[in-house]
Structure formats: C-alpha cells, structure tokens
Amino acid sequence: MANSKRMLKGAEIVWECLVREGVETVFGYPGGAILPVYDALANYSDRIHHVLVRHEQGAAHMADGYSRASGKVGVAMATSGPGAVNLITGMATAMMDSSPMVCITGQVPTNVLGSDAFQETDITGATLPVTKHSYLVMEVDSLANVIREAFYIARTGRPGPVLIDIPKDVQNDVTEFEYPTDPIDLPGYHPPEKATDEEVAAVLELINGADRPLVLSGHGVLMSGARDALIAIIEKADIPVTTTLLGNDSLPHSHPLNLGMMGMHGNASANHAIQGADLIIACGMRFDDRVTGKLKTYSPNSRKIHIDIDASELNKNVRVDVAINADLATVLAQIKPGVKQRKRAEWLKTIQAWQEDATQRDVLQLESETLLGAQVIRSICENIPDDALIVTDVGQHQMLEAQYYSHEQPHTLITSGGLGTMGFGFPAAIGASFHRADREIWAIVGDGGFQMTLQELGTAVQEQANVKIAIINNGYLGMVRQWQQMFYNAHYAETPISSPDYMKLAEAYGVPGYRVDRREDIEPTLKGARRHKGPVLIEFVVEQHEMVYPMVPAGADLHKMIRRPHPEETSV
C-alpha cells in the first residue's frame, strides 16, 4: 500500500492503522465517546467487517476466540465508562491464556479527564493488572505509533491483550498522517529467542541421563509452532507426554506416548507419571495450581527443566534445575540433534498399568438410565470431522471435553483456562467463526455459563455464524455442585439453576432447536444439526449428579486423587 501524507482525523487514523495491521474483523459496540471512530467506519467498511455484539463482554470474548482460531491479533471496540469496563473480563481471560488482542476504547475529552464526567472511567488504570500494556492517547500526532506498538506488544513474546484509550477530542483532531514504517524498538522489551550453548548442554545431559522422563506440554507448544519438533524428540527418545488443559491438542490423542491431560481433573496415569518421574521437561506451561496440587509434594524425586517465553513464569511456582527463557520452538530445534535415541520400555510398562486401571474405572464402561455428559462429548467427537473446532465454556462439561474428546489435530480446542471464565464459550465460538466461515465449530457449554452470554444469539443470527451450540443441561452449576457434594455435606447452596425453554428461545431467534434426553437420539440429532448452515441449538438433558473423576482436592498431593471406584471395589 502506497504511503503518502494526508490530512486525517484521529478517528480515520484508527481505521487506517487497523487496515495496515492486516485487521479484517472488529467486534464492537458504539457509544458517545467513540462515535467519531464509528462515523469514520463507513470509509473502511469495504476492507474491515464490523460485528455488532449484544454486550461488550461478548466483543472481548469474540476477539479472543478469533485470535485463537486465526493466530492473528483480535480487535474489540467499545465506548467509555460502562462500555470499556465491560471489556475487562475478556481482557483478563486473554491475559491469563496468552491470547493476542487489542482493545480500543473511547474516552471523554481531555479537558474533562479526572472530573468524573458522564461515562468517565480510568480504564487504563483499571486494566493495568490484566493487560500487557495500556495506553491513554493524549495527542493525535502519537496515535499511529501507539497503535503500531500495541499490535507489536500484543503479538510478540508471550502474547496478550493491549488497551488503547482515545479521548473524543483526539479522535476529532486533524493531523498530517503518514503511516510510520520505522522499526519498533521499545526500551526494556526485547523478547528472547534462543537458548545459550550452556543451557542446551545442561538440558541434553538431563534428558539423555534420565530413566523416567516426562514432558509437560502446554499452550506454548501450539503458540510457538513447536508441535512437530516436540513429537520428533519424544519419538526419538521414547518420552511420554502429558498435557495441560490449553495444551490438550498439542499432541494427537491417539499418539502412543500421549498420556492425556494432567492435574486436578487429569488422567490418573498422567498424575502418577508426574509423581514417579525422575525428569520433568516443562514446555510452554506455567505450573498452575490446578496442575501441581500441593507444591511441597509435587514430583518430589525429579530433576526439572522449564522452557518458557515469559521469564516471570520461571521458578515462580516450581523451582527447577534448568530454566530457559526463550522461544520454545527455537529451543527444541536446538536440542533435537543432541537427544539420544533410546527405548524406555520399563517406564512405559509402569505407565501402561496405571492406564489399564483408569480404563476399568471409566464412566463410559457403566450402564446408565439417564444421559451422561461424557456420553454426549464422546458422541460429538465420533460424529464430526477431526478438523472441527471445539470451543468450551467452563465447568464440568469443560473437564469432560478434556477427558472424552480426542483431539487429533492442533488448534482444534479453544477454552478459558487460567481465568476460568463462565460465559466465554459461546461468544468465543462466534468470534472463531470469522476466521474460516466454512469450518465446523461447536460451542460446548453448560446451562449456567450459556445463560451469562446467550444474548449473543442475536449476533450469531445477524451474522449467520456457523456455530453449533451444544448445551449440557444438568440443572445445576455443576462443578460448584460437585464441590458442595464432596466437601460441603451435599449442601447445594444456590447451585440449582433454572433455564428458559431453549426450544422456544431458539424459535424466538429463528434458529433450529433440538432437545435430546436419550442416548440413542444423540447421533441422529448431530447429523441433522450438521446439515444446517448457520447457528443451531441443541439442549442435551443429562444426569444432574454426574461427577467428574478423577479429582485432586485443592491443596492435596497430586497422586492423592478421588477416584471413581474400581469395579472390584464396588459391593454387589
């Protein structure tokens, strides 16, 4: 695109810069303080598609979902005050899960800043803890550079959200605009690239000398493009792998070295392997409390390697022997030639025994009169293509998806991990649909979380988003109810929750609706839903007191899991 000087308003500069950054879709909601930007949109609507959400929180989650599906920077837009603060939950979600996003908010004019003017909020101050950086643009001449920096910060290093707050007078001010092309160099911000020779040597010594090594594969494996390199290393050295929730699709589920998810609701064999390993190789993950259990007893007999792009995560929760602050894909490429080919049959035989025990305890082995959430998840998995994208909300259905949906391809799962944001799933699925309109996308949500953002059905219908909604309806805030049953004497305080008639809701929005409460009806309903292009709603009425096992109680040792009884332990 030719670069020539023109006289432009700040509002026009916003769209000019978004076009230059390759933005094709913006999710937003207009209001008084950002009206100049929306007024200027008409001149750019042939290049940028604006999606009108029904609530600003939906805009942030859609931008996040778009970002995770496409690998690009998602963009959300809102007005000042309530509009801006409604983005905060979405920014915090993106921050915890390393999702690149830029949020642009309108602000009251500079001459009334700090006066508690109508719809004024110090949004830069409010978002400092939940963004990589926050900008308040006080002069139109700095606007273009700020936008360029924001995108650079959002997408480099450990990705994350950036806020740009633009007062209304700055949007209206006119200046001579020429798109800046100088290289961006921010003092103090230089994301690392590779490991030192000494670090590579230390890693190889530990890997080649270990008898019971284990890889912990996190979201960073996907974000850095390190999946193929990781697979090459584990196959060469016969090293089993367990994944985090966000890394659940970082390795094919069918791979013989994949032990599945670790942690609070992870596979028992994965947790036992962590506790029995003599070497832990943590790749692009952050040792969250849901992964480690009690820190004092976490993998007590292992040496530990941690590779992460974010220096603040190293030695934060778990002390390690070798900590490498660098791009994961680059580090794995550095160490791969030096990894010795080796078979670890005894270690894998031990793990196989744990796996066989877990299989015998699997809920899918049991006969049930009522429909189970696990059955629904497995049926969805068996009836849709490998490249379909699953977007979940937060709760029991999320953990059941992690356990019973087999992700064979990368980038086929989007979920809220670190923040655990109920209401995330459906709008994030809508956002993801704008990356590839032909892709099959399923939003698997609970009846509680769906009701937090179900108003975005209006957005899905207006945009004809190709999203299939599977509501796992158990009439409870299921995960909270599970905790109440286990640890609060089954005192179900404020966890039973009613729902609207979802069939009438679907009819009101003009989308096909199905209700399923029998196992034999799952497959034909899925086939019918898949034939329809555009949004479809399916309500699966499931067992109200279904439990998600295993479960590591908060603060307990990782291996001290509450398990579903083994068949031999069940009295007749």
Residues that are catalytic: 56, 118-119, 168, 479
Rounded-to-integer distance, Cα 13 and Cα 523, Å: 51
Closest by Cα among 217, 236, 213, 141 to 180: 141
3-state secondary structure of 76: strand
Q: How far apart, in whole angstroms, are the C-alpha atoms of residue 539 and residue 329? A: 41
Structure tokens at 408: 């064979």
Q: Are 249 and 217 in contact (CB under 8 A)?
A: no
Q: How far apart are CA 571 and CA 12, in angstroms?
A: 73
Q: Are the beta carbons of 108 and 83 closer than 8 angstroms?
A: no
Contact 264, 254 (CB under 8 A): no
CA-to-CA distance for 90 and 96, rounded, in angstroms? Answer: 10
The amino acid that residue 534 corresponds to is: G
Nearest CA to 96 out of 70, 130, 122 is that of: 130
CA quadruple 448, 449, 451, 455: dihedral, nearest 10: 180
Nearest-angstrom CA–CA distance, 218 and 284: 5
Q: What gap in Å lies between CA 443 and CA 436, rounded to an integer? A: 15
CA angle (373 as vertex; 369, 374 as ends), nearest 5: 95
> CA 127, CA 115: separation in Å to the nearest integer?
20
Using CA atoms, how far apart are residues 204 and 231, in angstroms rounded to an integer? 16
| Beta carbons within 10 angstroms of residue 511's beta carbon | 19
Phi and psi at residue 167, to the nearest 5°: -60, 155
Comparing C-alpha atoms, which of 470, 487, 481, 469 is closest to residue 556? 487
Query: Is 457:505 a contact under the CB 8 Å cutoff?
Result: yes
